[in-house]
Structure 1
């Protein structure tokens, strides 16, 4: 900041121009800060979607070509097309997605299961689809209920910060919850015998076992724990962006866009509707 006594000593057009430039920059920053996410997306023609590289069937990235696929990529692409904007994929993890939303690194994150803890930090859309939590149980271990899993002798792997982590901790507080950086690492812990089960939503669990039958068996513990898959947003006073996406989701579910994206993503990992565990719907 320029003190009054120094301002009087500034001479020449250069100082005046610098002051004017500073004021213009401050004004532009203030205007940008006050612009809601919806208006900014339309103005920049860019929609930033959080994506998890190792997140099949939700997200899939071809490391050789850099091309993305997966149900949330397809859903995000359809959303961007309807808004006539460009989709930009920003890599994140399930555990870091909320922090990236809060830090304004991404505009939306599909595949977030709403929990009270998460709802204290971000906003959520309406339901994209229903989901169910399952476990992959090691060979020889076939728990039928969450109560059987809630045992100090039972080790359960999860990917840290995910809904798997939060829900397993809530449903099985007595069990040993072993946390890993990614879903793949949590699965590897099961494969190597370091844990008895992996807590995961059914799509990921069914895919993992079909790829590697040696992991064990997908079990749907009772009572069935149902959750929903939603989109998450950075919390802001103007709810236009959140409300628009919620309306778009309802519209797209009615047209079958969401279901088509899910079925197509399952096919990409050699799954079909026949592979859905009994009692699970989406």
Structure 2
């Protein structure tokens, strides 16, 4: 199994990337005002990555040691290593990440699904990997379709401002949708019987039910709703940063590094490839 340390070491700056970074470094004496994100990262030797605590397998922070994990931490670390810059983790939430990009608190946020609303505010990279939306239905509640949940008597929990929130609102406008600050709070509402289902992407749903089967069952409602997991960057006239991120993602996916990071993070929370619901692929 490829470890996080292995992943960081596997990714080396190729000749073309090294040449691009050399050229960028030589012209990095521009003033801070108006400087594009890519040049500023190279000049400051620091890349600010948005990170969400208690959000395994995507991100997780050990409360005792302060150490981060999760596959977007691993992927972000590899990106920073290839750029020969320091990785700085800036805590955010899925709902606040777009605002943090716009206000220049972070340089990049992995794990955002490109919705039209978000795309009006920030730029999205090429997909890091494919994803799919599911629900965790409480014991005895097993809807087969989104239409089965689009009823006034059905209660659904989501984390505020997330893709889960936006998609559930779109597909189930007649349902009672309760919005919480975090995924964990939305999950607690399910566990305590305040809602019938939680809308969530499959990785979080499978991981949660593996850890606590009393939550209910992971269901892939039909029609199948597929999405992608992308990185988001601040919108600016100079697209150098976006172009570099796209190039790097293609490189990392081609070498299997993104998939290895995802598989490792899932194994760390007890999810094996055979646990993946039918119809969903990495």
Is the structural similarity TM-score above 0.5? yes
TM superposition shift of 1:32: 1.1
**Matches of 2:233 and 2:152 in 1, distance apart?**
37
The answer for the alignment partner of 2:203 in structure 1 is 203
TM superposition shift of 1:33: 1.7
SS at match of 2:75: helix
The answer for the alignment partner of 1:279 in structure 2 is 279
SS at match of 2:33: helix
Structure 2 gap segments, 5+ residues each: 1-29
**Matches of 2:201 and 2:160 in 1, distance apart?**
14
CA RMSD between the two structures: 0.8
The answer for the alignment partner of 1:221 in structure 2 is 221
The answer for the alignment partner of 2:139 in structure 1 is 139
Q: What is the TM-score normalised by the length of structure 2?
A: 0.89
**Matches of 2:268 and 2:242 in 1, distance apart?**
30
Q: Give CA-to-partner distance per residue, 1:252-273, whole Å, 9 cap, x none.
A: 0000010000001001101111
TM superposition shift of 1:38: 0.1
Structure 1 gap segments, 5+ residues each: 1-29
TM superposition shift of 1:141: 0.6
TM superposition shift of 1:61: 0.5
1:90 aligns with 2:90: yes
The answer for the alignment partner of 2:3 in structure 1 is none
The answer for the alignment partner of 1:124 in structure 2 is 124
The answer for the alignment partner of 2:114 in structure 1 is 114
**Matches of 1:220 and 1:43 in 2, distance apart?**
46
**Matches of 1:113 and 1:263 in 2, distance apart?**
19
**Matches of 1:41 and 1:103 in 2, distance apart?**
16
| Correspondences of 1:1-282 after superposition (within 5 Å) | 31-282=31-282
Rg comparison, structure with higher value:
1
Moved over 2 A (4+): none
